[in-house]
Amino acid sequence: MAGDTKLGPERGGGSPLAERVALVTGGSRGIGCAIAVRLAGLGASVSICGRDEGALASTLRELKSQGVRAQAHRADVTRNEDIADLVSTTESYLGPVSVLVNNAGIGIFGPVQERTEKDWDAVLSTNLKSVFLVSQAVIPGMIRRGGGDIVNISSLAGRNAFAGGAIYCASKWGLQGLTACMAEDLRQLNIRVSSVLPGSVATDFGRRAKDASKALAPEDVAHAVAMLLTQRAQSFISEVQLRPLQKP
């Protein structure tokens, strides 16, 4: 049934995520869209959220073309009221959330002395605060049902500094700390919390790469997420660092 949160690839034979419900924030385009499509291909029912209704509708059509149950919701994941509505609607339509992929993110770059408090608030709220808020909204249900998976999409900028990256790096370094502590808080409750740290990805967001042809594809990140979700139930991969083979 939809509320079953058994972990690992034993679920559903040829569909490793059959009967699981996945919520992907920022799921309407780029990495989030690729993740949502990949999880649908593995049999999950998928809920996506974002702010662009046109992009949400396009991705929803692609998900439904795979024959899975899917739902799209316009939401600002920095706002608790939007999150409550998102989770409630998802669970009413698809069933209890047993997989959460916190993917929503933005980047504002430039020398630290040129950035503003507004820039700081926008990036930290989207990249860090939203992970805290959305996770808090689904964790109680995961605990009641005996388990779940949370995957936070971070960045190699959460391990490395670069000029012009002060605010973005701060958000991703913070996300790494949040993820590690969440993992320790929840692992004994059968909830795995992992992070995926991609390098340069060929998306609109990743246009800073010098040579996009050498960058990762969104599907590469989706593959890493799928690997985390289909590992054996007793296995726990806490972090995946993902780099292009050749530097862009």
Is residue 213 included in any domain, yes or no?
yes
Is residue 9 included in any domain, yes or no?
no
pTM over 0.85: yes
Is residue 141 included in any domain, yes or no?
yes
Q: Collect all residues with Cβ–Cβ distance below 8 Å to 84 and sequence separation of at least 6.
A: 137
Residue tagged active-site, from 70, 73, 95, 168: 168
Is residue 90 included in any domain, yes or no?
yes
Amino acid at 25: T
Q: Which domain holds residue 62?
A: 21-242
Is residue 156 included in any domain, yes or no?
yes
Each residue's pLDDT tens digit, 226-248: 999 999 999 999 999 999 998 87
Is residue 14 included in any domain, yes or no?
no
CATH label of the domain that carries residue 125:
3.40.50.720
Each residue's pLDDT tens digit, 171-230: 999 999 999 999 999 999 999 999 999 999 987 664 455 677 889 999 999 999 999 999
| Number of domains, the chain | 1
168 flagged as catalytic: yes
